[in-house]
Structure 1
């Protein structure tokens, strides 16, 4: 008789399990009934990023499987900063941290269900850390930690062996995170914490603290660090982080990041970030071999993840923008923000209202001279806003500049430039 798949089987198949404190005990724990799980997000920036998205989809899967989830925003731990292996963090001000906390609280809302019988819980660890005096912290919490164990944590050890060393502020971070787990264990019956594989030391500190203080057992789940075939972390786009906030990575740029995932990696990311079944993903992986030019798997991935993060309406706009840039859609249907984002990286130049298309072709770099521009138009190879230009005397009037911003000038199928309205 076969056993029905469990949520841990699902997480394992999707590539979301890297380490657990005791997998057999954890499976028994989940099998015994609804489990309360938490993950913390430090507000070290005004937005969450690609790595945080892994944790959000993990919490989402656990909640949809009937388990209780707690999303912790680190108003106190964000003031300290998790030690980096290479350098001391520049501390944020209290005002900066509070502003980041507010933004992140809003950002996590779409990923989890905060209503109903199994509503997610959103907490800020500043609420229980701020009232604690330094003496109480040292006496009640600090006494349970052994320095010889703390210095073996990977990031701490790396810093101790470097010239820069580590401040007591960052050294104490693992104590604060452990205290969070203890507080949530006592207050909500939370018995499982999740995080990235590189956070193992901080996560297990909480397990140890719960055992020392209460004599109880708690668990940790870590997710793998997602890297490409060259060992580079996913979530970097031309050296910049892929953020979840639309004002830091636009929905258009976010969508394009996923569209450009390599064929060899797209199946892995479909399993992690989408709800598609094994059969659907297998079919999409087959398509990357049979018809790679269609990028069907990448389009499915980009659509699903952009919809999850930015919503269906924004996804529809960026998909339409992608078609427009390939000459297959109506650019007048784009909203101003999507148009701006989609054309931001296009080559081009400033063009005054009333300029001829001939002058515009030269100004945006699609023709070397006016004579060459006239020949291109005469050959039927020029369009403005995806509408063919028929006459060499045609001009770019006010209506040609979409949303009073830009006109899309195209030469042939592959060459497009932005004629930006001159002020």
Structure 2
């Protein structure tokens, strides 16, 4: 199931592979972690709070790291944050997260699980039962099967806890002075930090302690914004269990200018095809800036480094070949080979390079929508999701940013009638790279 080829790297230690691909930013113990990963199979975890009904491309980086670890013989623990999502992680936030109901969090967690199964094979016979007491060990149904990942939800041990017991047993290990120096809290002090969010570090640290105690987890990974929480968890495991555990953080996916990647006009770049279509997903990577091609090929594809370097070295128009490969490979990993092929063909067709238009985002309308006076162009743009408001639609046209079948639209009050359609369809183009097909239902 793991799509990483055997020739992905000349290295046989996954630490060196991750270093070569540019993932690793910080570690608690560089040499010890490298040695440990080289000599034994290690259980490690990454946490995913269920704050939305789909994973996005930021999560995809973490998934790829788990796939590398699994490829090299280690056991991923996918931790769904059913408990921590109830509080909300303040890391990287300028305001408090909107509180979600337990039912929504539970449903989001189920959706996450379905997406994770696309990328990793899980031991479905493995289960965990919490004791319900802060310092009392929980139990596992069996040892994880070799080569398979396991899946847990921290609500199973966080939800039953007695708050006073938790604060007495766990809170005593945390210095408020040290917590306030953590980056995740420091950046919130001006606007205000709720006591609810202040508990988050204790909860994530306790997660690490529970997994170290009950599942023999030795490492926690996360994005750079999780560093404070990770080292707090390692410290708690040392103080309470007398165990040495390790932490490692990875680079967030940012452009060469330091801007976080994965945002589109419609919002986040989701891994769910119902939220971001395979065509839109492909187009995002096909259109990255030249300076970001090498990083994206290294971190988001499983091409050998020799091929990454060859493609990245292309210049001028030839660099578009590298961008096509990038778009295809990332889309193939997330949506499968058929969808990647359709997306690439649709993009080529939209840009006049041949190909099949099947994958281009399409909105269908009943024939009567374009009879008589028809439909206003701004209304059509809004109905197709190209703009969020009439104001944005008028502004796009006034700035020369819309064309129909290659002809620029200059009148924002243009009415679209059925005689505009060729073979029942027309192509709207917004800006340089956003295409949308409008078709009349047969």
1:266 maps to 2:293:
yes
Give the CA deviation at 1:135.
1.9
Contact 1:194–1:220 (8 Å) recurs in 2: yes
Q: How many residues align?
A: 366
1:28 maps to 2:21:
no
Contact 2:11–2:17 (8 Å) recurs in 1: no
Give the TM-score taking structure 1 as reference length.
0.79
- Measure, in 1, the Cα distance between the counterparts of 2:323 and 2:405: 31
Name the larger-Rg structure: 1
1:37 maps to 2:10:
no
Q: Secondary structure at the match of 1:86?
A: coil
Give the CA deviation at 1:215.
1.1
- Measure, in 2, the Cα distance between the counterparts of 1:53 and 1:119: 19
- Measure, in 2, the Cα distance between the counterparts of 1:237 and 1:395: 29
1:93 to 88, 97, 101: 101
Per-residue CA distance 1:150-208 (angstroms, 9 max, x = gap): 11111212222x0x321111000011101111111112110100000111001111101
Give the CA deviation at 1:330.
4.1
1:254 maps to 2:281:
yes
- Measure, in 2, the Cα distance between the counterparts of 1:101 and 1:157: 29
Q: Secondary structure at the match of 2:78?
A: strand
1:126 to 145, 150, 155: 155
Contact 1:191–1:218 (8 Å) recurs in 2: yes
Query: Cα distance 1:77–1:282, how it changes in 2: closer, same or farther (>3 A)?
Result: same
Q: Residues 109-120 of structure 1: matches in 2 within 5 Å? A: 109-115=117-123, 117-120=146-149
1:329 to 341, 345, 355: 355
1:224 to 251, 264, 287: 251
Query: Cα distance 1:215–1:301, how it changes in 2: closer, same or farther (>3 A)?
Result: same
Query: Cα distance 1:293–1:277, how it changes in 2: closer, same or farther (>3 A)?
Result: closer
Which residue number in structure 2 is paired with residue 174 of structure 1? Answer: 201
- Measure, in 1, the Cα distance between the counterparts of 2:435 and 2:263: 26
Which residue number in structure 2 is paired with residue 318 of structure 1? Answer: 343
Q: Secondary structure at the match of 2:324?
A: helix
Q: Secondary structure at the match of 1:222?
A: strand
- Measure, in 1, the Cα distance between the counterparts of 2:180 and 2:407: 64
Give the CA deviation at 1:351.
4.4
Unaligned runs of 5+ in 2: 1-9, 124-144, 375-402, 410-418
2:84 to 68, 77, 86: 77
Contact 1:36–1:69 (8 Å) recurs in 2: yes
1:300 maps to 2:325:
yes
- Measure, in 1, the Cα distance between the counterparts of 2:434 and 2:105: 45
Which residue number in structure 1 is paired with residue 175 of structure 2? Answer: 146
Which residue number in structure 2 is paired with residue 13 of structure 1? Answer: 20
Give the CA deviation at 1:139.
2.1
Query: Cα distance 1:396–1:45, how it changes in 2: closer, same or farther (>3 A)?
Result: closer
Give the CA deviation at 1:123.
0.8
Which shows bigger deviation, 147-156 or 189-198?
147-156
Unaligned runs of 5+ in 1: 356-362, 370-393
Q: Secondary structure at the match of 1:72?
A: strand
Q: What value does the CA root-mean-square deviation take over the aligned residues?
A: 3.1
- Measure, in 2, the Cα distance between the counterparts of 1:248 and 1:396: 28
Give the TM-score taking structure 2 as reference length.
0.76
- Measure, in 1, the Cα distance between the counterparts of 2:61 and 2:238: 28
- Measure, in 2, the Cα distance between the counterparts of 1:367 and 1:281: 38
- Measure, in 2, the Cα distance between the counterparts of 1:415 and 1:244: 19
Contact 1:81–1:91 (8 Å) recurs in 2: yes
- Measure, in 1, the Cα distance between the counterparts of 2:36 and 2:69: 14
Contact 1:210–1:216 (8 Å) recurs in 2: yes
- Measure, in 1, the Cα distance between the counterparts of 2:407 and 2:45: 58
- Measure, in 1, the Cα distance between the counterparts of 2:111 and 2:182: 31
Q: Secondary structure at the match of 1:18?
A: strand
- Measure, in 1, the Cα distance between the counterparts of 2:89 and 2:157: 19
Give the CA deviation at 1:415.
12
Which residue number in structure 2 is paired with residue 159 of structure 1? Answer: 188
Q: Secondary structure at the match of 2:16?
A: helix
Give the CA deviation at 1:326.
3.2
Which residue number in structure 2 is paired with residue 203 of structure 1? Answer: 230
Which residue number in structure 2 is paired with residue 60 of structure 1? Answer: 67
- Measure, in 2, the Cα distance between the counterparts of 1:294 and 1:308: 21
- Measure, in 2, the Cα distance between the counterparts of 1:310 and 1:417: 20
Q: Secondary structure at the match of 2:256?
A: coil
Contact 1:364–1:417 (8 Å) recurs in 2: no
Contact 1:36–1:190 (8 Å) recurs in 2: yes
Q: Secondary structure at the match of 1:96?
A: helix
Which residue number in structure 1 is paired with residue 140 of structure 2? Answer: none
- Measure, in 1, the Cα distance between the counterparts of 2:225 and 2:121: 28
Contact 1:259–1:298 (8 Å) recurs in 2: yes
